[in-house]
Every structure is written in C-alpha cells, then in structure tokens.
Amino acid sequence: MQGSPQGTAKKARRDSDRLRLVEKVQESFLLDLKGDAFPSLEAVFDFALSLDAQNPLQAFVEPLQVELVGPFEILAGKEVTMPSCWWRFHYDPPEMVTVMREVKDKEKENLGGRQNAPSSSSSSSSLPSPPPSSLHWTLWRDAPDVPPQAVMSSDPQEGPRVTVVAADLLGALASRARQIMKEGGEGQKKGGGAKGKKGGKGQKQSSEKGKEAGDSPSAALASTFLSQLSDFCQRRNLTFEEGESPEWKNRKKTLVVQQDISGVGVVVPYDKTTEVGHRDLGHSPASLKKLMNDGRKSFAKTQDLSDLDDLVSSADIANDECDFGCGLWLGRSLFLSLDPSDLWPHASGSKEEDKKFVRAVSNAAANQLNVAYQLLGREAFGPVATETLKLRLGDGHLAGSPLAPPAPAP
C-alpha cells in the first residue's frame, strides 16, 4: 500500500536534512562518507541520543569519560569554526580527524558550552580551549577521498605513536569500555577482556557478574554501558569490530611503503616491478628523529642546516623521478619530529637560535607535505598541514587551541 502524501513529504524532508548533514560533515572535515562511513557516525550519535537526548555529546562522559566532538558536533547542530584544526592535537597530521576526547573528572562540571566558547584572551579565538587531558580518538584515512579506515587513540603527552583501537566507532566505544572494566578489575575475570566481539552477546550477564564481584563503580558503569551498546546493536542489526580489521592488517602488510614515527606508515601508489612511487632516504623514524635533535643542538653554534637541506634536496629529486612517497614520508616525519616542548614561546630556553631551527624544520615539513599531497592527488590535505604548523609555531595563533604550546609552570 502506498504511503500517505503527508508521510511521503516527511520522509523527503528527513532525507533532505540527512543529505545536508552528510555534505556539511564531508566539507568541514574532508571526510569521505560513502558506504558505511556516515551510517557509522549516525549509529553512534543515535546511541548517544538514546542515553541522553538533551546532551548527546556528553552521553558517554559518565560511563567512559569520553566526549563526542568534531563531526558529532555538526550532527548536534553546533557550529564548528575553522574545522581543519578543530580538536586537532599536536601530533595529528591531516589524515586524522578527532571524533572523541577524554574528559577528566575535574572537567565534567564545566562541560556544556565551554568547548565552543571563545577564549577570553583573544577575540579572534575560535578553537576549543585546551583540555586537561590530551588523550583523544581519531578517524584515519590515507587520502581525503578514502572513507575512514580505522579508529586510533593517541596522547601527545606520550609522544607521536598511535594505537589502532577499532575498525569503526562502535568498536572504539566497546574497546574503551573494556579498558575501563579491566582497569577496574573486571578485565581480570574470565571473558572480561575478550577481543573483537561483534554485536556483543551476553554483556548483561557480564555486567551483573561485575557488580556482584564488587568491582569499582567505574568498571560497573562501563560494563552496563557495554550491555546497552550490545542491545542497541542487536536492535539495529549492527556489528562492531575491536582491534585492527583484516583490511588494516593487509594495509600494513602489503600497502605501507615505509614506516613513520607514528607507527601508521606511508601508503602511496607503488609499482614493485619498476620500483617507482617511493624510495628510502636511508633513515629510520628513530634515526631521523635523532638527526633533528642533534641538528638543533649544533645549530646554536654553527647555524648549519646542511643535514636538513640534504634531506629536502633528496626528496625533491625523488619527486622529479615520480617517487612521491619519499616527500610524504619526509614531510610527515619532520611534522612528527618536533615535540610540544620544542615549540615556543613557552619552550624552555626559547632562544632565537631555537626559534630559527624549529621554524626551518616546520617550513620544510609544510613544503614537503604540500608538494606530496599535490602530486598524489590529495591536495585537500595541504592547507590543513600548513594551518596546523602555523598554529604550532604561534603564527596567527588562536588562543585556546589544543595546539597551543604548554603554559609555563607557575
């Protein structure tokens, strides 16, 4: 039986609204939302609404100490200014988009509008204020026209390494819940730390057992959350996957042409027969990091940038010979080689020589990344890299950005 005209009109409006949201998220965060990508975002947001219809972005704060940010703020009807650097942390390259962040207990009472409020220290500020915790979760994709390939967690206070926690956002939520349960004691029990659950059968029983065993309140909340997530997925006929997906493992095994400091690795078109597409500059991630550290120490005395210049020249030659992965690897490695403590104006010492060296490395990173992205057809990533590096240096600094250098100790 054909639906009523009113019902058809309502559905058309819903579809139109959904299309507008898809387009806004895609344009704002350079996310390709083909296939299951947008339904995955929608599913997490719908689950959040089912737990807290008034404040869906904070629906996971109590059980998981996690707030939804980035694309979810658009789904919640919030305005996101300067999305290229919205909730972008120090080591986040353009391939990452932040979707969740950790909320510490002392911050919970200040939620609700704070994250979108301009900093009082600068009328031009439009980025979120720096949070007490820098642990966050991001979507990764190798190119702007590739749907998200994995969910990663990282904490710049611990360095540039990232951890793949799940294939999708539902899996990331389950992984976070299991982590809290384990830390609270429940993960030590039989079955508490199981990996790669899909759909999550039997989580209600797990929750009850956890409570009876006297686990910590946080573990009990996380266990209850996992049951609710399982029920939601069963009602929607959804599955989730924790840990690295088979596709991600295949990427690591067959597509990564060289590892980088983050552990994610560089993926570019590469012909194994002709060996065209990438070449090794003769440095591992660790040796390049050491080269930059040694170069900074010697620069104060010698003003010598020959090591950096040699790397850039080698990458430029590689680009001329169609080994575009070389420039991407070098640009990302330079991007990741500067620690938050290296940056000024708050870096210890903060001498003029330090500023010159840091600026030289940052400029080289920006140039290499922009050229590589252009040559690889990923040019949309270029402005993100440039703006991120500018903010890290303090050029046109927007007060309140998570990219802000740490304030000096009192």
Q: How many CB atoms lie within 10 A of CB 150?
A: 23
Chain segment 152-164, per-residue pLDDT in tens = 999 988 999 999 9
Assign 123 a pLDDT band (cuts: 50, 70, 90). Answer: very low
Give the count of alpha carbons within 13 A of 207, CB side only.
20
- For residue 96, the 8-state DSSP code is E
Mean pLDDT (whole number) for 13-28: 82
Give 28 or 398, the one with higher predicted confidence.
28
Q: How many CB atoms lie within 10 A of CB 369?
A: 27
Helix 381-393 to helix 352-375 angle (10° resolution) is: 170
Mean pLDDT (whole number) for 299-303: 84
In this structure, the strands spanning 150-154 and 136-140 are antiparallel
Assign 60 a pLDDT band (cuts: 50, 70, 90). Answer: very high
List phi, psi (to 5°) of 371.
Answer: -65, -45
Tokens 């040694």 correspond to 294
pLDDT at 74: 94
Range with the lowest mean pLDDT among 102-116, 194-208, 326-340? Answer: 194-208
Assign 118 a pLDDT band (cuts: 50, 70, 90). Answer: very low
Task: Say if pTM beats, i.e. exceeds, 0.95.
Answer: no
Residues 6+ apart with CB under 8 A from 57: 48, 67, 68, 69, 72, 73, 76
The percent of residues in the chain predicted with pLDDT above 70, rounded, is: 77
pLDDT at 188: 47
Chain segment 310-348, per-residue pLDDT in tens = 999 999 999 999 999 999 999 999 999 988 776 654 444
Query: Can you tell me whether residue 151 is helix, strand or coil?
Result: strand
Give the count of alpha carbons within 13 A of 166, CB side only.
24
Range with the lowest mean pLDDT among 38-42, 364-368, 379-383, 406-410? Answer: 406-410
Rounded to 5°, angle at Cα 172 from 248 and 241: 55
Select from 400, 387, 299, 396 the least CA-distant residue to 342: 299
What single letter denotes the amino acid at residue 281?
A: L
pLDDT at 55: 95
Select from 327, 314, 315, 313 the least CA-distant residue to 370: 327
pLDDT at 137: 97
Assign 11 a pLDDT band (cuts: 50, 70, 90). Answer: low
Structure tokens that stand for 214 in this block: 């006297």
Whether the pLDDT of residue 117 is over 70: the answer is no
Select from 291, 46, 296 the least CA-distant residue to 173: 46
Q: Across all residues in the chain, what is the average pLDDT? A: 82
Q: Domain map of the chain by residue range?
A: 5-236, 246-393
Chain segment 29-53, per-residue pLDDT in tens = 999 998 888 889 999 999 999 999 9
Select from 243, 344, 339 the least CA-distant residue to 293: 339
Select from 119, 123, 159 the least CA-distant residue to 404: 119
Give 249 or 347, the one with higher predicted confidence.
249
